[in-house]
Amino acid sequence: EKKVLGASSKDLTPSYDWFQTDSLITIVIYTKQKDMNAELVILDCEDKRLRGEIIVDDYSYLLEVDLDHAIQKDMAVNIAEKVGKVEIILKKKDNVHWKILGQPLENHNTFMKRTDRGLFYRKCKLVSKTEVTHDTKLFCLLLPESTHLHIPTGQHVYLKQIIAGTEVVKPYTPVLPFLPLDFQEPYCHDSAYIYLMIKIYSCGLFTQALDHLQIGDYISVSSPEGSFKKSQVQTSEDLFLLAAGTGFTPMVKLLNFALTEVSCLRTVKLIFFNRTEDDILWRNQLEQLALKDERFEVQFILSQPIRDWMGKQGMISSSLLSEFVKRSRKDSKVLICICGPTPFTEQGIQYLKDLGYSQEEVHPFTA
């Protein structure tokens, strides 16, 4: 069952128009949204099926047609951010006149809650797989040429594989290929690639299958999902990141964003919980980053150190949090992000509440 907005909100419904020249088809979407950006436009084209999704807050507008004629693989997306106009430029394969843009598909020209839309998957090619630690790897996936997709900071995607005849889906949070160490310009990597830092569990259903993928194999990747809003960081003076194990993954883009684009931040502190030293992800890069940027500090806390460990030990606790999470000034605006195993996140939220932090000051990353 599809829920389409009623007449009362019609004025907010995006609309589209199209026109052509001998060689090009231009589709213009009027989103009626003032601050459009590339992250809010998701475009896919496979064979002649064109799918363009525009995210408008919690809603999604969809353009979905079986094009009248074939197009070339590369297409361009131009966004007039202030006026909210999105232009999709397709190159005709043959210089013929199109009578119509195409046959509308099932959900063409609908505007509905994002949660009712369902996830869309496209097949991405595994281009590299590199070791991060003894059990964690960085997977680099290449999006199809005819896909336009940017994964926003703080959001995750779903991977889908058929395992022993059954479709299995798991969420993963894209990272960057490395941490920003050069602050000359905000670091912007080629958005055709998606980097995933994934721990391979010896008895893990999905991660074992992932580990067996060969370079050149394909895997289905969904559109992004997640409730984090960049504006939560943009107004903060102190940012605390509490990460456990692979709960570090959402912190990567967040760190990059905070340190390169948020000028009001005075302190950024990562408190990183792991079992042993060998489990610490990107330790060297984090230490380099702390040397490079005086606003940034990293604290490693081990729950099961094996060798001599001079650093902190333990699990998340009220005393550890009161020691490391402190406002830099009496009434600094803080944001505390937390991610890790469910009990870690739940305990963390409770301790922070007990320490007097409000719900607005704490953002947990969950599915």
Query: What spatial distance separates the first Cα and last Cα of the chain, rounded to whole Å?
Result: 24
Number of residues that bind ligand NAD (CB under 6 A): 25
**Smallest Cα–Cα separation from 253: which of 356, 121, 150, 358?**
150
Give how far the C-alpha of residue 192 lies from the chain's centroid of Cα atoms, to the nearest Å.
13
Binder of ligand NAD out of 50, 55, 316, 334 (CB under 6 A)? 316
Decide if 253 contacts 337 (C-beta within 8 A): no
133 forms part of the interface with ligand NAD (CB under 6 A): no
Which residues are CB-contacts of 206 (< 8 A; sequence separation ≥ 6)? 159, 161, 163, 168, 170
Residue 152 binding target from ligand NAD, ligand FAD, none, CB below 5 to 8 Å by type: none
Which residues are CB-contacts of 278 (< 8 A; sequence separation ≥ 6)? 133, 134
For residue 44 the two structure tokens come to 């896919």
266 forms part of the interface with ligand FAD (CB under 6 A): no
| Shortest CB 366 distance to ligand NAD, Å | 5
Closer Cβ to ligand NAD, 29 or 320, answer by number: 320
**Smallest Cα–Cα separation from 257: which of 154, 337, 177?**
154
Neighbours of 321 (CB within 10 A): 21
312 forms part of the interface with ligand NAD (CB under 6 A): no
| Shortest CB 176 distance to ligand NAD, Å | 15
311 forms part of the interface with ligand NAD (CB under 6 A): no
Q: How far is CA 58 from CA 54, 229, 315, in A?
A: 11, 12, 36
Residue 206 binding target from ligand FAD, ligand NAD, none, CB below 5 to 8 Å by type: ligand FAD
Q: How far apart are CA 347 and CA 353, in angstroms?
A: 10
Give how far the C-alpha of residue 304 lies from the chain's centroid of Cα atoms, to the nearest Å.
31
| Binding map of ligand NAD across residues 200-219, x = CB under 6 A, - = no contact | --------------------
| Shortest CB 234 distance to ligand NAD, Å | 21
Residue 327 binding target from ligand NAD, ligand FAD, none, CB below 5 to 8 Å by type: none
Decide if 73 contacts 90 (C-beta within 8 A): no
Binder of ligand FAD out of 117, 137, 148, 156 (CB under 6 A)? 156
| Binding map of ligand NAD across residues 29-58, x = CB under 6 A, - = no contact | ------------------------------
Q: Which residues would be at the binding site for ligand FAD (CB under 6 A)?
A: 156, 170-173, 196-199, 201, 203-207, 246, 249, 367
Q: Which residues would be at the binding site for ligand NAD (CB under 6 A)?
A: 156, 173, 199, 244-247, 249-250, 273-275, 279, 303, 315-316, 339-341, 343-344, 347, 365-367
